Chain A
């Protein structure tokens, strides 16, 4: 009899442990799967490689999560990152010190997001419409500045330290990402400001009635996103040492997909920072694993699309039983 109870307790505890953490389980299963299927997947060099590719998308995902948590959206972050990458490289080529150029790059990101927030929060434009417009403009700026060609220049050796350097087996960029990921998780889940972000995203009218300035919270979230866009651009320039016209666009879909994926865990139905980070890792592990298994590269797009559909479906189904859909759509 006691044994039965123990068994019941165990399965109840297991269910509790898994609840809202399904994505984590999938991630672990995938890692095990790829490790078994491929000899090269679970090696130091490949892990370093995965971490290296995750840091830029990860920083962008932190920013997008903050914006989406307030109920806003941004489609322009990836091309903004590409534009700032080119600007940084041009300034370095002109002989400016990295100590000046990198902060300027971050500032550019903040200004870019500030422009978006002006349109969306101050002028009340729909976030999709506003950022489609700024995204399109950004693409125009990139081609204007670069003439459509990849920008190359004279760079000091020290440029590559942030983007390609490692400390032990850990890439420098991943350490930067890890530091900001921890800060952002603390900020959103454990600070008063973070609680206010959740409040605005949940019910901005009710937030006003408890004295929260929703507009201020939304603008600050955009500015923080801008900081992350700038930082991502700094790492991108250090990693590529070149300014392709399509520099940032590769990040757009995976980062948006990771936000949706992230909304399936921890706080189901809500975009959250922890979930987004998990989403970024999941997507880059799938991408890397597929390469290791010699699957053709274009399949990753099909799989990304399927993942977005799967994530939204799972949130909708869960919401249906409670009579509500995903909060961010």
Chain B
């Protein structure tokens, strides 16, 4: 076991996306036959790191060495040619082609200038026999008709079809049934021993990673926290390494005055949500936390009326609603700040002022025509009140920094009386100072007897600011964690 040869190493890799330092000075070495686990919270930089290794993303700085020579991928096909392949978390498949055609996409079997469908199907069957993760898979079915887990199998087979030396698996078991997961994990162990294939394995399922990996690297905020050898690996240690705790004093103090329920969701059911029951009271910030895709966003969209729901009752101030319209909710003072401000919130061709007044246009201007002067004066007053930094209210919104754009979005809602504020990932991609301003703003809302429901993929934020937390897993609420029990360990226990 100890005489393994290094096959890949990287030194001081860095990658920035705008102001975000996605990968920060990461170095590590892979030995031939390693199963190298990569763990960390959402947004810790794992996906970016493997994209760099697989040539899908070019690092800003740093070196990579593969089989003792330095490499610089410009595109992923170069990495594939050198037998490094990735099975993505969200399979990159062509839906209108069959499973077999997808597996051999880009390396089709040909007969003259034509594609040899039969030969391809035969080779796909051989591949499936060699790697029997899911023998039931029907290879000539269109990907369109396959289930989510079957698509993941196709993605893994596609990555295996390159006969890789290094295979990178991004959350391969997230959507797989238990049995297929077990087969896959067994297969990894066999392949690493017999064929000396090296694996990089990303998973939120810590138990699996601990069981199968011989090394685990923990990442946090784009940085490498440490690498644990097989004998050092311990679940609690890994969790502690994933978590950052020195940010506690960064958050405002918790609420002391929690009163009556203003928002109640009862037996909410949709395609992906199962029997959701939550409530939010005046004076409190309620956190909603789970892994990506566990259904938190859908709850927010259902409450605000963007998504329709099949069953369930949503009560606002005691008024029961079976169907919800966005404009009704806004009239009731229930506001949603969606994630991804560029996609869901900002009007790029509008000025700062126009981006502020758009939400409550009819309240700001009861008269028929808009007076530009009145609008600008009003917008300036509000922007100043919420501490937005700008030069001229007639600037286009794109000329502001991310933090100030987010403050504009808060301003556009909060200049009018708000009862319940729902936020989804409000602090993604903005700097520390703006983050703190937003936390203080949320706390001042609850001090004024408003209610806040916060959905965030940053566990620090959820723990730091929430007075109460619901955890979610696969469309279900798994636990309600109250004041004194709020710890990151307690949350992770209920979402993984």
Which residues of A are at the interface with B, using a C-beta cutoff of 8 A?
A: 186, 190-192, 195-196, 198-199, 202-203, 205-206, 208-211, 213, 267, 269-270, 322, 324, 327
Q: List 19 A-B contacts (CB under 8 A).
A: A190-B369, A190-B372, A192-B361, A192-B368, A198-B349, A199-B358, A203-B343, A205-B343, A205-B344, A206-B344, A206-B345, A209-B326, A209-B344, A210-B330, A210-B358, A211-B327, A211-B329, A211-B359, A324-B348
Report the minimal beta-carbon distance from B413 to chain A, rounded to whole angstroms. 9
Tell me, yes or no, whether B336 is within 8 Å of chain A by CB. Answer: yes
Give B345-375 interface residues, CB cut-off 8 Å to A. Answer: 345-350, 354, 358-359, 361-362, 365, 368-370, 372
Report the minimal beta-carbon distance from B332 to chain A, rounded to whole angstroms. 11
Tell me the bound Cα distance from A3 to B412 in angstroms: 45
Tell me, yes or no, whether B338 is within 8 Å of chain A by CB. Answer: yes
Tell me the bound Cα distance from A8 to B154 in angstroms: 66
Tell me the bound Cα distance from A208 to B307 in angstroms: 11
Tell me, yes or no, whether B270 is within 8 Å of chain A by CB. Answer: no
Task: Tell me whether B346 and A203 are in contact (CB under 8 A).
Answer: yes
Task: Tell me whether B343 and A206 are in contact (CB under 8 A).
Answer: yes
Task: Tell me whether B362 and A270 are in contact (CB under 8 A).
Answer: no
Task: Tell me whether A186 and B361 are in contact (CB under 8 A).
Answer: no
Contacting residues, chain A, for B345 (C-beta < 8 A): 206, 209
Report the minimal beta-carbon distance from B129 to chain A, rounded to whole angstroms. 44
Which residues of B are at the interface with A, using a C-beta cutoff of 8 A?
A: 306, 326-327, 329-330, 336, 338, 343-350, 354, 358-359, 361-362, 365, 368-370, 372, 398, 412
Contacting residues, chain A, for B326 (C-beta < 8 A): 208-209, 211
Q: How many A-B residue pairs lie within 8 Å, measured between CB atoms?
A: 62
Report the nearest B residue to A322, measured CB to CB: B398
Report the minimal beta-carbon distance from A215 to chain B, rounded to whole angstroms. 12
Report the minimal beta-carbon distance from A207 to chain B, rounded to whole angstroms. 8
Report the minimal beta-carbon distance from B246 to chain A, rounded to whole angstroms. 35
Residue in A186, A213, A324 whose beta carbon sits within 8 Å of that of B327 in the complex: A213
Contacting residues, chain B, for A209 (C-beta < 8 A): 306, 326, 336, 338, 344-345
Tell me the bound Cα distance from A267 to B348 in angstroms: 12
Tell me the bound Cα distance from A186 to B347 in angstroms: 21
Report the nearest B residue to A195, measured CB to CB: B361
Contacting residues, chain B, for A213 (C-beta < 8 A): 327
A195-B358, A327-B349 as given contacts; A186 in contact with B306, CB under 8 Å: no
Report the minimal beta-carbon distance from A201 to chain B, rounded to whole angstroms. 8
Tell me the bound Cα distance from A161 to B354 in angstroms: 44
Residue in A190, A199, A267, A269 whose beta carbon sits within 8 Å of that of B347 in the complex: A199
Report the nearest A residue to B359, measured CB to CB: A210
Report the minimal beta-carbon distance from A111 to chain B, rounded to whole angstroms. 28
A190-B369, A192-B370, A195-B361 as given contacts; A202 in contact with B349, CB under 8 Å: yes
Report the minimal beta-carbon distance from B177 to chain A, rounded to whole angstroms. 34
A205-B343, A206-B343 as given contacts; A267 in contact with B349, CB under 8 Å: yes
Task: Tell me whether B348 and A202 are in contact (CB under 8 A).
Answer: yes
Task: Tell me whether B346 and A191 are in contact (CB under 8 A).
Answer: no
Contacting residues, chain B, for A186 (C-beta < 8 A): 369
Task: Tell me whether A192 and B344 are in contact (CB under 8 A).
Answer: no
Task: Tell me whether A270 and B349 are in contact (CB under 8 A).
Answer: yes
Contacting residues, chain B, for A327 (C-beta < 8 A): 349
Report the minimal beta-carbon distance from A228 to chain B, rounded to whole angstroms. 21
Contacting residues, chain A, for B348 (C-beta < 8 A): 202-203, 324
Task: Tell me whether A191 and B368 are in contact (CB under 8 A).
Answer: yes
Task: Tell me whether B338 and A191 are in contact (CB under 8 A).
Answer: no
Report the nearest B residue to A323, measured CB to CB: B398
Task: Tell me whether B344 and A202 are in contact (CB under 8 A).
Answer: no
Tell me the bound Cα distance from A190 to B368 in angstroms: 8
Task: Tell me whether A211 and B369 are in contact (CB under 8 A).
Answer: no
Tell me the bound Cα distance from A209 to B346 in angstroms: 10
Task: Tell me whether B350 and A192 are in contact (CB under 8 A).
Answer: no
Report the minimal beta-carbon distance from B116 to chain A, rounded to whole angstroms. 36
Tell me the bound Cα distance from A209 to B340 in angstroms: 12
Task: Tell me whether A202 and B350 are in contact (CB under 8 A).
Answer: yes
Tell me the bound Cα distance from A205 to B348 in angstroms: 13
